[in-house]
Structures are given as structure tokens and as C-alpha cells.
Amino acid sequence: MSIQAAARHLLDSHARRERFIPLPPELAPRTQSEAYAIQDAFVALRAEQLGAVVGYKIALTSAEMRRFVGVDSPMAGMMLESTLRRSPASVRAAEYGRLIVEFEIAVQIAEDLPAADKPFFRSRVAQAVGAVMPALEIADDRNADYRELAKHPLELIADNSWNEGAVLGTPVTSWRAIDLAAVRGVATINGNKVGEGRGADAMGHPLDAVAWLADHLASIGRGLLRGDVVITGSMVTTKTVTPGDHVAFNVTELGSVELQVE
């Protein structure tokens, strides 16, 4: 019952645009398993309005960010059907507590990766990837105090790793000829360069990040399914955006993706 109560508490906090703060002690997760159980229940409640789970995000893909938050492994979150958009897309900042954007490579799964096949490696994951594309993750940190995150790292998992969907570029099906670790991504806001990175910046290789996610899902009896979209981790530091901002991310050999903030 505390899992469901925690999920309902999170849902209500989002609806009221409340600041991200720790859950009440009686509802707070004590273990990673409890945190993911709350995430499951929270996402199930959101799915009633936002549609089914159609993909996943991977948070804290860099060692630096994991140290900052005080954890030793990445975190997973789920993406819901109505929150996935195709570029060019637009969102209203007023619908979020504090809108943040991350700059990523996304993959679309073309064949199931069942839990029974674990452990997963880059070569196995590559067989199942049908397309690759640039992506912008849409997230809401709800005005979190980042200095406090390390004291309550499991709260971020419970809150679905702050995901509010993604904007996807044009799928590239001929991706096997591309060195995904070497591709260069350039992020701009209102035409001004705000950062750049390479595919290797997310866990060494985008498909290594997907393999980590597949292993994580297998550990709780789930698999990546045909049609799922996975955003593999930010290549550029997270940016806060405000109404009027035009956000773009161009990745060599993969194209670009755009978001207008209203």
C-alpha cells in the first residue's frame, strides 16, 4: 500500500506543479527495488492519461553525474506514448515546473530482446536495432535543489527520472555504416551553440547504454520489445529552457532535431 500511496503522492505533486522534494519518510523508498516499484506504480497512473509505455530513458550515463548525485549506476525511466514527438515539435513551458532538455541519440528496437537472453552486449543489441536518430529529451526537474539530490538519490528513480518524453529526429535505417561512438553532436539554443559532444560520451557507446538498459529490464523480468524507443543518455550538459527558445541538436551522419518552447 505504501508503494501505491507514494505513486499517488508523486502524481498529485506533479499536478500541482510542486517543487521536487523528498517523499514523506513513511513513503520514501529505502532500496533501489522499492524506488523502481514506486516508479512502476507512478507511471501506471500517468499512463491512464498519457498512453502506454513505448520506450525508455537512461539517466546519469556519465561517471561525473553519478558522483554528483551519489550513486554508482545509471538510472532508467519510462516514456509514454503521447509524450513522444517527431521533429519539429513544440511544448508549452507553463505545463512543467522547470523545463529542461537533454541532447541524445535514440534507437528504435526492431526485434524483441527478451529477459531470457541476458546478459546483453553491444553486438547482441546491434542485431535488434532497426533505426538510430538524434533526440531531445524533455524533462522536468520541478525546480529541484541539485545540492540535495545526493541525500535522496532513490527519489529520482521513483519520480521516473524526471522524464516527460522526447522529440525524435528522422530515423536512419542505414546506421550500421556509422561509427556511433564517433559522431559529433552540436546543441544550439536560439542559434547559439551551447555545447557539443560525441556518441561515446554516453557510457562509451550508445549501444552499450542500450545493453545496460536491457540487462536492467531483464533483472526485473522484462525485455525490450519491438517498436520500443530508447534515448541513450545526454551528449551535452542539461539545459534549462524558457518560452521563446528554439532548441536544436545536429548530429553528424544522423541529422537534426528541433524543439520550439512556447
Report residue 136's pLDDT band, with 50, 70 and 90 as the boundaries: very high
Phi then psi dihedrals of residue 164, to 5 deg: -130, 25
Report residue 70's pLDDT band, with 50, 70 and 90 as the boundaries: confident
- For residue 179, being part of any structural domain is answered with yes
C-alpha cell belonging to residue 237: 550538459
- For residue 168, being part of any structural domain is answered with yes
pLDDT in tens, 104-122: 999 999 999 999 999 999 9
More confident residue, 62 or 39: 39
pLDDT for residue 161 is more than 80? yes
> 131-140, 143-152, 178-187, 242-251 — which is least confidently predicted?
143-152
- For residue 74, being part of any structural domain is answered with yes
Our count of domains for the chain comes to 1
Task: Read off the CATH number of the domain in which 237 is found.
Answer: 3.90.850.10
Average pLDDT over residues 37-47: 98
pLDDT for 148:
86
Average pLDDT over residues 206-232: 96
- For residue 236, being part of any structural domain is answered with yes
Average pLDDT over residues 62-80: 82
pLDDT for residue 73 is more than 90? no
Report residue 103's pLDDT band, with 50, 70 and 90 as the boundaries: very high
Average pLDDT over residues 158-171: 97
Expressed as residue numbers, the domain containing 131 is 52-261
CA distance linking residue 56 with residue 106, whole number of Å: 10
pLDDT for 151:
86
- For residue 47, being part of any structural domain is answered with no
Q: Which amino acid is at 59?
A: A
pLDDT for 218:
96
- For residue 204, being part of any structural domain is answered with yes
Report residue 171's pLDDT band, with 50, 70 and 90 as the boundaries: very high
- For residue 84, being part of any structural domain is answered with yes
| C-alpha R_g of the chain | 17
pLDDT for residue 30 is more than 90? yes
- For residue 138, being part of any structural domain is answered with yes
pLDDT for 86:
98
